[in-house]
Amino acid sequence: MTLLWSRADLLAATSGRFPSSTSSDIAGTGVSIDTRTLRPGDVFIALRGERSNGHEHVAAALHAGAGAVVVHEPCGVDDPRILHVADTLDALRDMARFARARFAGRMVGVTGSVGKTSVKDMLRHALQACGPTHYAVASYNNHWGVPLTLARLPASAAYCVCEIGMNHVGEILPLARMVRPDVAVITTVASSHLGLMGSMDAIAREKAEILCALPAGGTGIIPDGITGETHFIHNAAQAGATLWRVGQSKDCPVYATGLEHDAQGSGFEMHLPHWQGKVRVNAPGRHMAGNAMLALAAAHACGADMDRAVAGLATFAPGAGRGAIARVMQDKVALLDESYNASPDSVRAALDLLGLVATGRRIAVLGDMLELGTFARHEHQALLPAVCANADIVFCCGPNMKTLFDTLPSSLQGGWTPESEQLAPMVRAALRAGDTVMVKGSHGSRMGHVVATLRMDDARVGQA
């Protein structure tokens, strides 16, 4: 295990205090905020959350072999590994800034309404083929996820990919200033969180803030035709950064030609400022091809060897709940698992994907899209054309999806229930051999129940 945090670095980063008895052999080989996943040698940071308090788990962290434990409340434990700070969340942020400052590789920040994790994962596959790459775990993109990712960044890495998220105005800039990206990618501006943000222009303005954290000479990357493009142009110019539009027109600095989509993925010819070549993406869907173009543009802006990056990208596969396809119900039915989350754009992308991959009947199972506030009714009903174009039978659950369900032609109406628990057996009973079923909904709509019910037989086989 390589040393990530020495005693001296922890003290310098946090201005904290170890007990006077502490010897110099504090050695942090990782950083943890959760004792359930803590590995021996991790620096455990006792964060206080709304529902949990890490200070209650200090003894467990020490017992599990934490290299050091960072606290700001008395926790009734005396141990030379305990580092006292004024505030543990601030200490995590301080560690993030310290780790960022000693990192000499290329830093990428990815933000956007949808597709952040997909682009981040595509990019890290591409970069890992070129050099040691550190990246955000899962969707670690918020006020603790971003600093945790940075605090874990080894100084020796060649590349780092951070995901930066937001629900409210003003969240992007402080996180972006901590990340200090050399390359900033904005995946999409779409109506996710529209209820909290108020307007599409406000969403675009907020996403464009990431460009304010670029250095002069840095690179911003946006998809061609992005909503609120003027905000991106303005902020990139203010930062003295170059802005690359990525699209399918030769007018874009980065563009793709010869796009072909099939049930396994997409292929295209990529044209970058100093490189051109064939690309294969093993994740189906037009949106995944678009994500891949952004990821490759970012790899190029990092100075990566593009032949290697393209080979690395080919090893990317969609994650659970983000478009992974499985055979279920004794191999009779194809399940397109999109249950991780939903927003208007990602539901459209998933419906498009259903139309692309299905060979038999196309079944859409849709749960409510949340956080749309007063726009909810309109945004749900506006899915009608995409649903009619890509599904033969539609099952819905939740009060918002009821408004869509009621406007469907009766031939498409499979069934509606208030909760996903009731919908799951209904969907299962309706499926026939050769069907393709796509399940999608916001995390809070708990569409995972439907996926679990469809996977029931397969899970039993797995356990046998």
Ligand X SMILES: Nc1ncnc2c1ncn2[C@@H]1O[C@H](COP(=O)(O)OP(=O)(O)OP(=O)(O)O)[C@@H](O)[C@H]1O
Q: Which residue sits closest to Mg ion, CB atoms considered?
A: 139
Which is closer to Mg ion, CB of 14 or CB of 187?
Answer: 187
User: Any contact of residue 14 with ligand X (CB under 6 A)?
Assistant: no
User: Any contact of residue 346 with ligand X (CB under 6 A)?
Assistant: yes
* Rounded Cα gap, residues 83 and 54, in angstroms: 14
Compute the radius of gyration of the chain from its Cα atoms.
23
The footprint of ligand X on this chain (CB under 6 A) covers a number of residues equal to 23
For residue 330, give the amino acid letter: Q
User: Any contact of residue 114 with ligand X (CB under 6 A)?
Assistant: yes
Which is closer to ligand X, CB of 171 or CB of 182?
Answer: 171
Q: How far is the CB of 109 from ligand X (least distance, A)?
A: 13
Which is closer to ligand X, CB of 62 or CB of 186?
Answer: 186
Q: Is 112 annotated as a binding residue?
A: yes
Choose which of 349, 365, 393, 397 interacts with ligand X (CB under 6 A). 349
The answer to whether 113 and 185 are in contact (CB under 8 A) is no
User: Any contact of residue 203 with ligand X (CB under 6 A)?
Assistant: no
Which is closer to Mg ion, CB of 187 or CB of 242?
Answer: 187
Tracing tokens 């010897």 back to the chain, one arrives at: 23
Which is closer to Mg ion, CB of 35 or CB of 117?
Answer: 117
- Residue 361's Cβ-side half-sphere holds a number of Cα atoms within 13 Å equal to 17
Length, in residues, of the chain? 464
Tracing tokens 């993406």 back to the chain, one arrives at: 281
Give the range of 111-119, 236-244, 269-277, 412-420 binding ligand X by CB under 6 A: 111-119
Give the C-alpha distances (Å, rounded to integers) separating 54 from 17, 144, 313.
Answer: 18, 13, 38
User: Any contact of residue 118 with ligand X (CB under 6 A)?
Assistant: yes
Choose which of 133, 188, 400, 420 interacts with ligand X (CB under 6 A). 188
Secondary element (H or E) of residue 458: helix 456-463
Q: How far is the CB of 166 from ligand X (least distance, A)?
A: 9
Which is closer to Mg ion, CB of 53 or CB of 139?
Answer: 139
Which is closer to ligand X, CB of 290 or CB of 312?
Answer: 290
Q: How far is the CB of 399 from ligand X (least distance, A)?
A: 22
DSSP 303-333: T--HHHHHHHHTT--PPTTTTEEEEETTTTE
List the structure tokens of 135: 């990246």
* Rounded Cα gap, residues 205 and 187, in angstroms: 14
Q: Is 118 annotated as a binding residue?
A: yes
* Rounded Cα gap, residues 243 and 186, in angstroms: 11
Site residues for ligand X, window 137-176 (CB under 6 A)? 139, 141, 165
Give ∠ CA 125-126-127 in degrees, rounded to 5: 95
Q: How far is the CB of 141 from Mg ion (least distance, A)?
A: 6
Give ∠ CA 289-237-142 in degrees, rounded to 5: 55
Give the range of 39-47, 136-144, 284-292, 395-403 binding Mg ion by CB under 5 A: 136-144
Q: Is 321 annotated as a binding residue?
A: no
Choose which of 322, 362, 380, 449 interacts with ligand X (CB under 6 A). 322
* Rounded Cα gap, residues 214 and 217, in angstroms: 8
Q: Is 21 annotated as a binding residue?
A: no
Which is closer to ligand X, CB of 205 or CB of 322?
Answer: 322
User: Any contact of residue 116 with ligand X (CB under 6 A)?
Assistant: yes
Which is closer to ligand X, CB of 30 or CB of 323?
Answer: 323
* Rounded Cα gap, residues 409 and 274, in angstroms: 51
- Binding partner selected for residue 181 from Mg ion, ligand X, none, CB under the kind-specific 5 to 8 Å limit: none
Residue span 260-299 as binding mask against ligand X, x where in contact by CB under 6 A, dash where not: ---------------------------x--xx--------
Q: Is 254 annotated as a binding residue?
A: no
Q: Is 114 annotated as a binding residue?
A: yes
User: Any contact of residue 338 with ligand X (CB under 6 A)?
Assistant: yes
* Rounded Cα gap, residues 212 and 120, in angstroms: 20
* Rounded Cα gap, residues 205 and 168, in angstroms: 12
User: Any contact of residue 116 with Mg ion (CB under 5 A)?
Assistant: yes
User: Any contact of residue 245 with Mg ion (CB under 5 A)?
Assistant: no
Q: Buried b vs exposed e over 399-429: b needs ≥16 C-beta within 10 Å?
A: ebbbbbbeebeeeeebbbbeebeebbebbbe
Q: Is 82 exposed, middle or buried (0-12, 13-18, 19+ CB in 10 A)?
A: buried
Site residues for Mg ion, window 139-168 (CB under 5 A)? 139
Q: Angle at which helices 286-301 and 344-357 pack, to 10 degrees?
A: 110
- Please state the residue numbers annotated as binding site for ATP: 112-118
- Please state the residue numbers annotated as binding site: 112-118
Query: Would you tell me which residues interact with ligand X (CB under 6 A)?
Result: 112, 114-118, 139, 141, 165, 187-188, 287, 290-291, 322-323, 338, 340-341, 345-346, 349-350
Query: Would you tell me which residues interact with Mg ion (CB under 5 A)?
Result: 116-117, 139
